[in-house]
A and B are shown apart, each in its own frame.
Chain A
Amino acid sequence: MNALTPNAPALPAPVGLLAELTHRCPLRCPYCSNPLELDRRSGELDTATWQRVLTEAAGLGVLHVHLSGGEPTARNDIVEITESCAKLGLYSNLITSGVGGALQKLDALYDVGLDHVQLSVQGVDAANAEKIGGLKNAQPQKFAFAERVTQLGLPLTLNSVIHRGNIHEVEGFIDLAVKLGAKRLEVAHTQYYGWAYVNRAALMPNKADVDRSIRIVEAARERLKGQLVIDLVVPDYYAKYPKACAGGWGRKLMNVTPAGKVLPCHAAETIPGLEFWYVADHSLGDIWANSPAFTAYRGTDWMKEPCRSCDRREKDWGGCRCQALALAGDAAATDPACSLSPLHAKVRALATEEAAESPPDYTYRTIGSNVRSPLKEEAPL
């Protein structure tokens, strides 16, 4: 590790690699975490490059690889890539929609040593779920996929992204997770970047519903202790302190896009002026230690007040840079989700206002759409 980081002996080794293998996906969720400008298939890294990236990641100290997308099973080489993870001792986590060719490839993935499956579910009621995901007949495919996962003895996590279109189904998600034999459930309130930011007014739930969902999760955690672990991500806009985004900028996570661009988090490209390096040009270790995008907000030197003197600065690392940019117009500002930010009250008011109005229609994510980021049109707060 030191050989890679001669000038910064304290540089932590990355723990996780989010491998966005492709942006192709049969679903069109309005809160998709992919960027508004999606990579096309022709620009995707080839198998050998991914295998080199994984080898470098293992050498750097990465333990977990999240095989994501888009829909990662849309790649023809998903089995080979997973097998490489197993051979390198990397813990492989398939983050999948469970639709399309996912079920067909599952047994082969199991055979080469896949460690864990995280399956997204958009809703409990099939019609609602399929409206949110924008794909007919997705729900039965997901259930069949989940059944095979548990049949094989693979650990299953259900991931539910919560917003006003399904916040009434939180109880149902918990029952569904138990019924499908999941060991973990993520009740993740939407984080408003990228597509979710475009659709924020259609997605933002009201405070009473958010509070209710938290109470339901807390009661279920007690009731299902030892059977189902429930991870809760509360919506930032209603939180007291921000989350340590990606565990702190450039501290734990690397994100490689389908085209091989390496980001400190999946939304980092929304910050203008950051220089990202590509795996085609640099080794992963070089990128981790030296790429301008990673060094820009690593540690605490870049912080302004109130973060700079805050005793939480090494707990939440100032929150999310992308959100600071989106809401405060400055990526180095305190995340306005933090109650210590001067803009926090405005953010809370904005959320309350949007949640009180009747929701507009979703803008579904799609490759090659003309959706422009509202970041460019909306004046910062």
Chain B
Amino acid sequence: MDLSSIDPILLLASLMVAATPIVLAAIGELVVERAGVLNLGVEGMMIVGSVLGFVAAIETGSPWTGFFVAAFGGAALAAVFGFLTQFLLSNQVATGLALTLFGLGLAALLGQGYLGVKAPAFPDWHIPLLGDIPVIGPIVFQHDPIVYLGLAVVAGVWWFLTKTRAGLILRAVGENHEAAHALGYPVRRVRMLAIMFGGACAGLGGAYLSLVRVPTYAEGLTAGAGWIALAIVVFASWKPGRLLLGAYLFGGVTVLQLNLQAAGVAIPVEYLSMSPYIATIIVLVIMSTGGAPGSLGKTFHASR
């Protein structure tokens, strides 16, 4: 055992990177669920985002184009889900699961010919001044731009949901769609926009995996990250601040168990791997039924 070989600064820095795809996917899903829609297709939208982003980045040589295309593709896929559930009134759970399966298949198809290719370089930002602060600098201020984008989106969502009129309407739609409809709010339009925002975020999260974190495309790349994002939304009891905490907890455990192993610590990794899920279950038990948006997962039709 040689704990001195673990550099806590690098550990915390890699924690932020490890958490970023989950932060992005989860914050998108949080908005969707606050609007009263349960989209279980996060995994599918992530993997489609990862392959679209990767292909676009390879073809144009620009990772930024890749991220843009990934967000667009994720939103497009989410729009399919939105059309099915909001206009054709299909069951949200079944449609979401179908979206995941569809996404995995579509990604495998699109990814043919792009296997084993390295993504174009996406350099870290070394933020002047801030990045030079000892300890804090390397941990927080020397990452790639998407890490900061993730944080900005979380902050933006918090501000939007709690401080703006539009956010209040979105929450009203999620809590009680019939009341919101009676007040004259466009329930379906609000939900469609939320769903597409969620898809764009999931697409970005997926592209972060294929363009920065891995950085290559392989089939099944997301390996369940979308499901973790869904769990974290519940863990966070639909609050953006706690969501960040949950994602960092999860990212931290992932990184920590690898570091401990490499340092030769003989702790069974299963315990560490289990811990975020156990924490989620405990939070669910403590919260009981409170916290979930009132109309979550319910089908809305104006005539009822």
- A, B assembled together: no
Residues of A within 8 A of B (CB): none
Residues of B within 8 A of A (CB): none
